[in-house]
Amino acid sequence: MDTRIIEEKFKSLFGDNYMVYTSPGRVNLIGEHTDYNGGFVFPGAIDKGIYAAINPNGTDKVRAYSADYNEQVEFGMNEDDAPKESWARYIFGVCREMKKRGFEPKGFDTVFVGDVPLGAGMSSSAALESTFANALNEIFNLNIDRFELARIGQSTEHNYCGVKCGIMDQFASVFGKKGHLMRLNCATMEFEYFPFNPEGYKVVLLDTVVKHELASSAYNKRRESCENACAHIKARHPEVNFLSDATMAMLEEVKSEISEEDYKRAVYVIGEKQRVLDVCDALEKGDYETVGDRMFGTHYGMSKEYEVSCEELDFLNDVAKQCGVTGSRVMGGGFGGCTINLVKEELYDGFIATAKKEYLAKFNREPKVYDVVISDGARRIK
């Protein structure tokens, strides 16, 4: 992205001294609804993110301008200084979470802009948190390790933005590495990089432009189902702390003790853990057919077992199958948002044209199309 838009604005508001930082949004190839079940996720940072020009201002105040909203706010860093603007609460929350941990960021001026599509499930909020967490850490020599920067972003969501998210989004934004996906064990926080340069393939997101309102209550209900199934298994197998620790055989033992709904949710989570491991093995062999097969398996599980898909997502998944796409699935929490698709380059143009045409005929609008390039995480760029 051309950062001149924020640099020129910064100069007009605050002067000529500044540094430019960025952090990316993310995609998740596979491993959905597994983070809060102690399982694996498999995200990568993308080439779209938040960009901020920033400089210390010698006061205890933050002066922030959002180029996207064309709004400027000023706030202090005490708990009762919280700004009312939702975008500014992310920056305020990062400052507060640092202070709670005993670090002392000082006042600063900033102008920022983003090119992560909002509402498409690519985590623009995590990109915003990670941009400022990384920038303040470096500018004020706070010496916070990168895992703690991710946790600061997560705590900002929990405590200042009302979202009880897992750690995946902030982790991917901070630790992203160009040309690599990351397998993160959400129970232990151990991770490793896996090369992801699928020659002859493209990764593309198709955005349904739908967000269903039942999402937050439905997420909580599914989480309760998983915790209930896990509790019944743990009563027989004390070593099981998360549902992802369990096997299908353990689940079968308690099938008669839990509801059919809880059973279906658990089938999905335990199956998804294995699909992530299968994809890791396949990537090390360059076997993208298996990667794609497991992606379709995840979509089936999210649609029929976890039941977090919707008509629009299922429709796009069916179109992908008809067009010979290698792999396709709903990405993110569900109930709307995007499908992520692994497509052979020679099929790409036909798939996009068909998806647009058939989606328009069915739902009276076209899906948005986002090509994905796997990129680096939080960093200073100028």
Residue-wise pLDDT for 20-69, tens only, equals 999 999 999 999 999 889 999 999 999 999 999 999 999 999 999 999 99
Please tell me the distance from the alpha carbon of residue 183 to that of residue 272, in angstroms, as a whole number: 13
- Helix 215-236 and helix 260-285, axial crossing angle in degrees, nearest 10: 90
Alpha-carbon radius of gyration of the chain: 21
Q: What whole-number distance in Å separates Cα of residue 29 and Cα of residue 26?
A: 10
Identify the pLDDT of residue 334. Answer: 83
C-alpha to C-alpha distance for 347 and 201, rounded to whole angstroms: 9
- ∠165-168-174 over CA atoms, to 5°? 115
In angstroms, how far is CA 192 from the centroid of its own chain? 17
Total number of domains constituting the chain: 2
Same-domain pairing of 65 and 109:
yes
CATH number assigned to the domain comprising residue 94: 3.30.230.10
Distances (CA, A) of 160 to 83, 89, 240: 10, 6, 32
pLDDT for position 379? 98
Domain match, 216 and 176 both? no
Structure-block tokens of residue 294: 């497991």
Catalytic center residues: 169
Identify the CATH number of the domain in which residue 249 sits: 3.30.70.890
Same domain, 282 and 320: yes
17 and 157: one domain?
A: yes
Per-residue H/E/C for 313-361: HHHHHHHHHHCCCCEEEEECCCCEEEEEEEEEHHHHHHHHHHHHHHHHH
The one-letter amino acid at 378: A
In whole angstroms, give the CA distance from residue 296 to residue 59: 53
Do both 337 and 311 map to the same domain? yes
Look at residue 213 in the predicted model and tell me its pLDDT.
Answer: 58
225 and 191 together in one domain: no
Cα–Cα distance, 159 to 101 (Å, whole number): 14
Order of strands across the sheet that contains 327-331: 327-331, 336-344, 201-211, 368-371
Is residue 65 domain-shared with residue 11, that is, in the same domain? yes
pLDDT of residue 216: 66
* Domain match, 107 and 8 both: yes
- Burial class of residue 301 (count of CB atoms within 10 Å of its CB; 0-12, 13-18, 19+): buried
How do strand 327-331 and strand 336-344 relate by DSSP bridges?
A: antiparallel
pLDDT at 370: 94
pLDDT for 332 equals 81
Query: Along the 382 residues of the chain, how does pLDDT read in single tens digits?
Result: 899 999 999 999 999 999 999 999 999 999 999 988 999 999 999 999 999 999 999 999 999 999 999 999 999 999 999 999 999 999 999 999 999 999 999 999 999 999 987 767 778 899 999 999 999 999 999 999 999 999 999 999 999 988 877 889 999 999 999 999 999 999 999 999 998 988 999 999 999 998 765 556 787 899 899 999 999 999 999 999 999 999 999 999 999 999 999 999 999 999 999 999 999 999 999 999 999 999 999 999 999 999 999 999 999 999 999 999 999 999 987 888 899 999 999 999 999 999 999 999 999 999 999 998 999 999 999 9
Contact between residue 363 and residue 194 where contact means Cβ atoms under 8 Å apart: no
* Enclosing H/E stretch for 101: none
CB contact at 8 A, 85 and 112? no
Task: Indicate if 205 and 178 belong to the same structural domain.
Answer: no
Enter the tokens of residue 276. 């992530």
Residue type, 112: F
Instruction: Show the domain range for 226.
Output: 201-371
116 φ, ψ to 5°? -80, 125
Q: Which helix (H) or strand (E) holds 272?
A: helix 260-285
Inter-axis angle of helices 260-285 and 288-300, nearest 10: 170
**Cβ-contact 79, 96 below 8 angstroms:** yes
Residue 299 corresponds to which amino acid? H
125 and 253 housed in the same domain: no
Q: Do 341 and 219 share a structural domain?
A: yes
Residue 38 and residue 182 in one domain? yes
